[in-house]
Amino acid sequence: MHILIIGAGGMIGRKLAATLGRSGFLGGDTITRMTLVDVTLPPVPADISVPAEALAADISESDAAAALAAGRADVIFHLAAIVSGEAERNFDLGYRVNLDGTRALLEAIRREGSRQAYVPRFVFSSSIAVYGAPFPDPIPDDYVLAPLTSYGVQKAISELLLADYSRRGFVDGIGIRLPTIVIRPGAPNAAASGFFSGILREPLAGQRAVLPVEETVKHWLASPRSAVSFLIHAATLDTASLGVRRTLTMPGVAATVADQIDALRRAAGPEAADLIDRRRDEVIEEIVAGWPKSFTPQRAAQLGFTAESSVDELIEVYLAEDAPGASR
């Protein structure tokens, strides 16, 4: 089995490559090689048992997409994206990468299959940003997609493309709407949601963090460990059970910022919570105000997707796997 990971330089992509490369299996199949792709050369994880090649490519360029499709990977994980805050600040870049890149990749696969039969499993990383206010709390599986950010629009259109290319038999697609990932390791990124990780990650390391919104803000969260688990489960799922609705909302933890701070106190004491500086940011407040708060992801649960059930668990995963000095 040949695995292609696009967006392999990102945090989730690196973790996915390491997990698959160390196990050597996806479902019941042996992974014989992996191709790791990002716009800049992604790292090859250490201590993996699977041969892996790293490539730098921009999938929004048709020649690059065609070259990747010609590799005829059995499973393609499409994780590459310009994140929410950056997509809002840079309209052209967001559409070029998040929408044009996805369309170029799907079209390259279709053209490759027209020469000789080729229908790969295509796992697409979408987002809960496809929903926009006003909405119920929680949001059911069948609720309308009405995004209020450019990033959300780009992901929603890509979900429709995934469904249509799957309906036409060009790919065997499945999309997963990821919760906001908490706690993200390393340095903050440009995502508007970055503070959800920052108000936990930095105080746990004895550093100050900025909270740009009110503590009443509520959001849908899951760990990096769960994100990788979602992707692997999606790659091995019998997609016949999906019908024409090819994208699923993933399970997660519905928590307010106050819930996060309470969990931080339990994990690291009141002195950790004292390291959070309240500093309102109206731009971030406006973006976050249009985001979902919680879901009832019944379809995903019925199909075997699982996640954490509390912020305490999210912190435990971070301390075990991603905090400085963690064993993994």
- Give the integer Cα–Cα distance in Å for 249 and 301: 9
Instruction: Report the domain count for the chain.
Output: 2
Comparison of pLDDT for 278 and 286, the residue scoring more: 278
Percent of the chain residues past pLDDT 90, beyond the cut: 89
pLDDT digits (tens, 9 = 90+) for 19-54: 999 999 999 999 999 999 999 999 999 999 999 999
pLDDT at residue 108, rounded to an integer: 96
Mark whether 206 and 276 lie in a shared domain: yes
Mark whether 60 and 143 lie in a shared domain: yes
Instruction: For residues 237-250, give the mean pLDDT.
Output: 95
Q: Is the pLDDT of residue 328 over 80?
A: no
Mark whether 34 and 133 lie in a shared domain: yes
Structural domain span for residue 167: 2-179+223-249
pLDDT at residue 297, rounded to an integer: 97
328 domain-assigned? no
Q: Please give the structure tokens belonging to residue 154.
A: 């780009």
Our measurement of the distance from residue 153's CA atom to the centroid of its chain's CA atoms, rounded to an integer in Å, reads: 16
Indicate if 118 belongs to the active site: no
Mark whether 24 and 144 lie in a shared domain: yes
Q: Is the pLDDT of residue 188 over 80?
A: no
Mark whether 96 and 110 lie in a shared domain: yes
Mark whether 100 and 205 lie in a shared domain: no
Mark whether 113 and 232 lie in a shared domain: yes
CATH number of the domain to which 267 belongs: 3.90.25.10
Q: Is the pLDDT of residue 117 over 70?
A: yes
Mean pLDDT of the chain: 95
Q: How confident is the model at residue 164 (pLDDT cuts 50, 70, 90)?
A: very high
Active-site position among 95, 151, 165, 318: 151
Q: What is the DSSP letter of 275?
A: T
pLDDT at residue 287, rounded to an integer: 83
Indicate the range of 65-79, 122-136, 181-195, 260-274 predicted with least confidence: 181-195
Mark whether 18 and 139 lie in a shared domain: yes
Mark whether 171 and 216 lie in a shared domain: no
12 domain-assigned? yes
Neighbours of 164 (CB within 10 A): 14
pLDDT digits (tens, 9 = 90+) for 310-323: 999 999 999 999 99
Instruction: For residues 210-229, give the mean pLDDT.
Output: 97
Mark whether 206 and 234 lie in a shared domain: no
